[in-house]
């Protein structure tokens, strides 16, 4: 009888534990009752919780990590979180100061980047005409800063955008990516709105495509009369060319630079900064369906 009662008691405890684990778990909780909002409630005043500790190499061997998975990275001395696409370090990000670099993980799923890649952008301020503004020192989507004003490589050119459209396009000289049907004509009474601004989306809400006034000021006060002006400035702007309005094919890379402003001329045309070996000026007679470069700026 006593043996039977003991077995019954053990079975009851086991069932109770199993039930608790299938619902909520309380460790050292008051009366072993977890907080109603917690799946796992751990209460100690002299102990912590140790997550799996591993190197970056070990972390990268985890097959199909779940979104939200967290480990402690012993190389970085920091928690790492998998966001469903990539591992992110949870080390606090230092306050931004213009002159520092910024690392951006561009992903196709955002509807802006044509390809997945991480780019490190330099930043600069003190540009004549807009002394207090902070600019990136290479084109949005470029792998690096251009090596010359006539640099005709895709890696330096970066991506191209049609006016007030967030989708960027890569052109390797032969193929445009994405190779979607090109919009041959755009007619809408609107400046470039924040919801479609690739600078705002990819770099953060404080960044934006320069306005007409911002481009006019740096071109005018900077005394830019040929492409030597933009290239010789702290912006190191070069002739990245453009995508043709009728079919999205590549045009004038290495010969002309076309940089959108966020300001329209009218429903069909918008303002851009255009420069080449014989001139540099603002133009308001280029169709919105052209694909031009983007150079991002922020107010501070």
Tell me the per-residue pLDDT of 117-153, one tens digit each, with 9 for 90 and over: 999 999 999 999 999 999 999 999 999 999 999 999 9
Which has the higher per-residue pLDDT, 96 or 157?
Answer: 157
The reply to whether 163 falls in a domain is yes
33: confidence class by pLDDT, cuts 50, 70, 90: confident
Domain, as residue range, for 135: 102-298
CATH code, domain carrying 72: 2.10.10.30
Q: Looking at residue 25, what is its pLDDT?
A: 77
Asked if 155 contacts 257 with a C-beta cutoff of 8 angstroms, the reply is no
Asked if 252 contacts 241 with a C-beta cutoff of 8 angstroms, the reply is yes
Residue that terminates a domain, selected from 92, 126, 159 = 92
Q: Provide the domain count of the chain.
A: 2
Residues 50 and 62: their CA atoms lie apart, in Å, by 18
The reply to whether 21 falls in a domain is no
Residues 133 and 145: their CA atoms lie apart, in Å, by 19
β-pair type (123-124, 134-136): antiparallel
Q: Are residues 74 and 222 in the same domain?
A: no
Q: Are residues 172 and 294 in the same domain?
A: yes
Q: Looking at residue 92, what is its pLDDT?
A: 74
The reply to whether 26 falls in a domain is no
Q: Are residues 203 and 86 in the same domain?
A: no
Q: Looking at residue 293, what is its pLDDT?
A: 98
The reply to whether 185 falls in a domain is yes
Contacts of 273 (CB under 8 A, 6+ apart): 215, 219, 230, 257, 258, 259, 261, 280, 281, 282, 283
Q: Looking at residue 15, what is its pLDDT?
A: 47
Q: Are residues 56 and 125 in the same domain?
A: no
The reply to whether 107 falls in a domain is yes
Q: Are residues 177 and 57 in the same domain?
A: no
Whether 211 shows a pLDDT value over 60: the answer reads yes
The mean per-residue pLDDT over the stretch 167-180 comes to: 98
Q: Looking at residue 19, what is its pLDDT?
A: 45
Kindly provide the b/e burial profile for residues 163-180, where b requires at least 16 CB atoms within 10 angstroms of the residue's own CB. bbbbbbbbbeeeebeeee
Instruction: Quote the longest CA-to-CA distance of the chain.
Output: 105
What are the distances in angstroms from CA 173 to CA 42, 48, 140, 227, 240? 58, 56, 18, 22, 12
Asked if 287 contacts 276 with a C-beta cutoff of 8 angstroms, the reply is no
Q: Looking at residue 85, what is its pLDDT?
A: 86
Residue that terminates a domain, selected from 92, 121, 150 = 92
Q: Are residues 269 and 128 in the same domain?
A: yes
End-to-end CA distance of the chain: 81
The reply to whether 82 falls in a domain is yes
Residues 236 and 233: their CA atoms lie apart, in Å, by 6
Q: Looking at residue 104, what is its pLDDT?
A: 95
The mean per-residue pLDDT over the stretch 74-94 comes to: 86
Q: Looking at residue 239, what is its pLDDT?
A: 98
Q: Are residues 180 and 88 in the same domain?
A: no
Q: Are residues 57 and 201 in the same domain?
A: no
Q: Are residues 253 and 216 in the same domain?
A: yes
In 3-state terms, what secondary structure has residue 16? helix
Q: Are residues 133 and 271 in the same domain?
A: yes
Q: Looking at residue 29, what is its pLDDT?
A: 55
The reply to whether 259 falls in a domain is yes
Whether 195 shows a pLDDT value over 80: the answer reads yes
Q: Are residues 275 and 130 in the same domain?
A: yes
Q: Are residues 252 and 118 in the same domain?
A: yes
The reply to whether 18 falls in a domain is no
Residue that terminates a domain, selected from 30, 65, 92 = 92
Q: Which residues pair with 287 in a beta bridge?
A: 269
289: confidence class by pLDDT, cuts 50, 70, 90: very high
Closest CA to 116 of 86, 136, 145: 86
In 3-state terms, what secondary structure has residue 87? strand
Q: Looking at residue 115, what is its pLDDT?
A: 98
């Amino acid at each position: 009888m006593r043996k039977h009662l003991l077995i019954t008691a053990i079975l009851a405890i086991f069932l109770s534990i199993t039930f608790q684990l299938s619902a909520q778990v309380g460790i050292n909780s008051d009366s072993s009752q977890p907080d109603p909002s917690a799946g796992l409630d751990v209460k100690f005043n002299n102990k912590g919780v140790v997550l799996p500790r591993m190197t970056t190499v070990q972390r990268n061997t985890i097959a199909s990590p779940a979104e939200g998975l967290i480990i402690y990275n012993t190389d970085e001395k920091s928690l790492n979180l998998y966001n469903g696409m990539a591992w992110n370090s949870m080390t606090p990000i230092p306050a931004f100061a213009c002159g520092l670099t910024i690392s951006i993980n561009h992903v196709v799923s955002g509807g802006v980047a044509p390809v997945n890649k991480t780019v490190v952008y330099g930043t600069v301020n003190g540009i004549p005409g807009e002394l207090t503004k902070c600019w990136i020192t290479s084109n949005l989507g470029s792998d690096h800063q251009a090596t010359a004003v006539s640099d005709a490589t895709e890696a330096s050119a970066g991506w191209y955008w049609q006016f007030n459209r967030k989708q960027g396009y890569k052109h390797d000289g032969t193929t445009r990516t994405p190779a979607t049907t090109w919009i041959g004509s755009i007619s809408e009474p609107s400046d470039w709105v924040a919801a479609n601004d690739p600078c705002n989306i990819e770099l953060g809400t404080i960044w934006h495509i320069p306005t007409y006034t911002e481009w006019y000021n740096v071109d005018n006060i900077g005394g830019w009369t040929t492409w030597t002006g933009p290239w010789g400035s702290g912006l190191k702007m070069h002739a990245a060319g453009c995508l043709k309005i009728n079919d999205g094919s590549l045009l004038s890379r290495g010969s002309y630079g076309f940089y959108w402003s966020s300001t329209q001329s009218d429903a069909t045309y918008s303002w851009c900064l255009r420069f080449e070996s014989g001139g540099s000026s603002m133009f308001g007679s280029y169709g919105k369906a052209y694909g031009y470069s983007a150079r991002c700026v922020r107010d501070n």
